[in-house]
């Protein structure tokens, strides 16, 4: 390169938290490919060596030491004359503190180290717990170009970027670990626009890809020119190496060549987030596949479809677990769904275990009436069977409860809540219906499942029921899902008061009832398996309420 031109490779990679050696290999491969394409510099995402989010791994001295050793090894490898490297890693400073750092590596050396200044401590982030705050950074010199290296949250306020501009940065390269939720790409774009307007500098945004526990990182790396025009756009939900050519024109830099991927719409993005989160959870944790109960209802059907899209039909095992309340319609629908997805499908009746529990409990239950206790025995019998199959064959049990049901406790501990992961945990019931219909009409690239109607239409249109007693429907105990979901969205996503929700046309008594159900189900949610974050406020890290809680909004 000359000081007036350079070729940049943006490495949108899928690291695994804690796999320092494996993550370094991803970086090596990206650098080799970048070298083959004539790149001068490779930009990686935040904490690429550790994987993001590393949480309390950062408190282990051995882990930080390993990250630093591998970073130094990568630095020595750049003596080969190939591209330089912007590398994210935990780093222990001379003061003994551990920082969220980015290294500029070139010509066999670590040329510069910069620390993250603005540590996020909200929503799913708690970096102040494990990292020290760095000083305001200055730019670094890379082969005659002065580059600013703010790290992720550093661009969500103006202080860091303004400091870099004032101290001579010519353009901003930003390593990010920005997780997905609905409309997140637009939110990022607006932040970047603000920084570009304030500094007058081009900004390159490199984001991580992949699932990490409940978080999904969607990639979608991009760049803006100083005039706010789009310089390049990389895809969401897939690993990629983006090559762009930059030229100095006057006092700014212009991207002469870069790709322009089309971003998915909201439905496709939500579906791909669920699929990517499930795939990485299963594969990164070493499971050979998944097993789930296929009831003939919408929730298990959409989970089966997502599992096939994520893993392939050969790694998905569905089991119908009928009891005397299971309708012939449900049996038919479950079999049709399994057939369309091409997955293994078995039937294991639960009459014997349920009646066995009933017999064992007959003495202590004498004189009592049947109630939800007997209903829960059915769910728990199913849970035991699914876990037994999982134990025997190693496949992880998928749970299938949606956010609406988990909000109000419409789920059974040690029954349908049994399992290792839930791809629809953060989707409301109305979203489940909507996405099921969407998937029947769409099969985007990158999915492993078949095209066409993978979820039988009868499953989508029929009245929802748990089938735990005669003629049961969900609306026996819950309001219609469009009403319930609107109230829950107000309570969970927006923390609205009862009075504010009432103004939307809902009765005060119903709002009070839903609020009460939401609060008293907290103990169940604490015991639920992880699942993909889709909304801005998922249960867990985003929304943290006490289990013991007597507050009720009676304003």
Active site residues: 46, 116, 152
- What is the spatial distance between Cα 474 and Cα 127, in angstroms, rounded to a whole number? 41
The response to whether 296 counts as a known ligand-binding position is yes
The response to whether 209 counts as a known ligand-binding position is no
The response to whether 524 counts as a known ligand-binding position is yes
The response to whether 220 counts as a known ligand-binding position is no
- What is the spatial distance between Cα 428 and Cα 423, in angstroms, rounded to a whole number? 12
The response to whether 412 counts as a known ligand-binding position is no
155-159 long-range contacts, Cβ below 8 Å, gap at least 24? 155/191, 155/192, 155/195, 155/203, 156/118, 156/120, 156/191, 157/118, 158/194, 158/195, 158/198, 159/117, 159/118
The response to whether 122 counts as a known ligand-binding position is yes
The response to whether 457 counts as a known ligand-binding position is no
Q: Burial of 23 by CB count in 10 Å (0-12 exposed, 13-18 middle, 19+ buried)?
A: buried
The response to whether 295 counts as a known ligand-binding position is yes
Residues 298 and 330 sit within 8 Å (Cβ to Cβ): no
Residues 275 and 447 sit within 8 Å (Cβ to Cβ): yes
The response to whether 207 counts as a known ligand-binding position is no
The response to whether 184 counts as a known ligand-binding position is yes
Residue count of the chain: 555
- What is the spatial distance between Cα 320 and Cα 334, in angstroms, rounded to a whole number? 7
Q: Burial of 360 by CB count in 10 Å (0-12 exposed, 13-18 middle, 19+ buried)?
A: exposed
- What is the spatial distance between Cα 253 and Cα 271, in angstroms, rounded to a whole number? 37
- What is the spatial distance between Cα 90 and Cα 338, in angstroms, rounded to a whole number? 46
How far, rounded to the nearest angstrom, does the alpha carbon of residue 532 sit from its chain's CA centroid? 5
- What is the spatial distance between Cα 67 and Cα 395, in angstroms, rounded to a whole number? 32
Q: How far apart are the first and last CA of the chain?
A: 66
Phi, psi of 8 (to 5 degrees): -110, 135
- What is the spatial distance between Cα 217 and Cα 178, in angstroms, rounded to a whole number? 6
Residue 497: HSE in the Cβ half-sphere, 13 Å Cα cutoff = 6
Phi, psi of 368 (to 5 degrees): -105, 160
Of 110, 154, 111, the closest CA to residue 131 belongs to 154
Q: How many CB atoms lie within 10 A of CB 264?
A: 19
- What is the spatial distance between Cα 235 and Cα 258, in angstroms, rounded to a whole number? 12
Q: Which residues are annotated as a binding site for ATP?
A: 293-300, 400
Q: Which residues are annotated as a binding site for deamido-NAD(+)?
A: 376, 405, 524
Q: Which residues are annotated as a binding site for L-glutamine?
A: 122, 178, 184
């Amino acid at each position: 390169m000359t000081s007036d031109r350079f070729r940049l490779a943006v490495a949108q990679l899928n690291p695994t938290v804690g796999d320092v050696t494996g993550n370094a290999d991803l970086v090596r491969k990206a650098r080799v490919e970048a070298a083959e394409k004539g790149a001068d510099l490779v930009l990686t995402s935040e904490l690429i060596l550790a994987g993001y989010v590393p949480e309390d791994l950062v408190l282990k001295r051995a882990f930080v030491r390993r990250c630093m050793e591998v970073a130094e090894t990568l630095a020595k490898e750049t003596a080969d004359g190939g591209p330089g490297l912007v590398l994210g890693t935990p780093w222990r400073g001379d003061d003994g503190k551990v920082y969220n750092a980015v290294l500029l590596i070139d010509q066999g050396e670590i040329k510069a180290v910069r620390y993250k200044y603005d540590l996020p401590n909200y929503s799913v982030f708690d970096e102040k717990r494990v990292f020290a705050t760095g000083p305001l950074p200055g730019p670094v010199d890379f082969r005659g170009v002065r580059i600013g290296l703010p790290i992720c949250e550093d661009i969500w306020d103006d202080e860091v970027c303004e400091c870099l501009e004032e101290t001579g940065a010519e353009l901003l390269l930003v390593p990010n670990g920005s997780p997905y939720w609905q409309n997140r790409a637009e939110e990022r774009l607006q932040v970047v626009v603000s920084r570009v307007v304030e500094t007058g500098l081009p900004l390159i945004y490199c984001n991580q890809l992949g699932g990490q526990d409940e978080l999904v990182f969607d990639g979608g790396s991009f760049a803006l020119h100083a005039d706010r025009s789009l310089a390049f756009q990389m895809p969401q939900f897939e690993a990629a190496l983006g090559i762009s050519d930059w030229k100095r024109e006057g006092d700014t830099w212009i991207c002469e060549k870069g790709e322009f991927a089309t971003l998915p719409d909201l439905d496709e993005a939500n579906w791909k987030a669920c699929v990517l989160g499930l795939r990485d959870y299963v594969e990164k944790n070493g499971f050979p596949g998944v097993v789930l109960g296929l009831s003939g209802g919408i929730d298990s059907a959409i989970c089966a479809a997502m599992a096939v899209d994520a893993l392939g039909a050969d790694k998905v095992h569905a089991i119908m677990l009928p009891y005397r309340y299971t309708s012939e319609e449900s049996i038919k629908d479950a079999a049709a769904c399994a057939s369309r997805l091409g997955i293994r499908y078995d039937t294991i009746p639960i009459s014997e275990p349920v009646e066995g529990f009933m017999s064992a409990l007959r003495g202590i239950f004498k004189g009592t009436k049947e109630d939800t206790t007997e209903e829960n025995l059915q769910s728990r019998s199913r849970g035991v069977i699914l876990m037994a199959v999982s134990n025997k064959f190693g496949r992880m049990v998928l749970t299938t409860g949606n956010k609406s049901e988990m909000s109000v406790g419409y789920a059974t501990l040690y029954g349908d809540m049994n399992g290792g992961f839930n791809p629809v945990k953060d989707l409301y019931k109305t979203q489940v219906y909507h996405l099921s219909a969407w998937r029947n009409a769409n099969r985007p690239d990158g999915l492993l499942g078949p095209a066409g109607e993978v979820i039988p239409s009868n499953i989508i249109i029929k009245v929802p029921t748990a089938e735990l007693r005669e003629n049961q429907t969900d609306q026996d105990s819950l309001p219609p899902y469009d009403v319930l979901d609107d109230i829950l969205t107000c309570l969970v996503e927006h923390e609205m008061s009862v009075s504010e929700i009432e103004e939307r046309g809902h009765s005060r008594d119903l709002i009070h009832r839903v609020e009460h159900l939401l609060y008293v189900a907290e103990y169940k949610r604490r015991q639920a398996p992880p699942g993909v974050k889709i909304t801005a406020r998922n249960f867990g890290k985003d929304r943290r309420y006490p289990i013991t809680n007597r507050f009720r909004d009676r304003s």
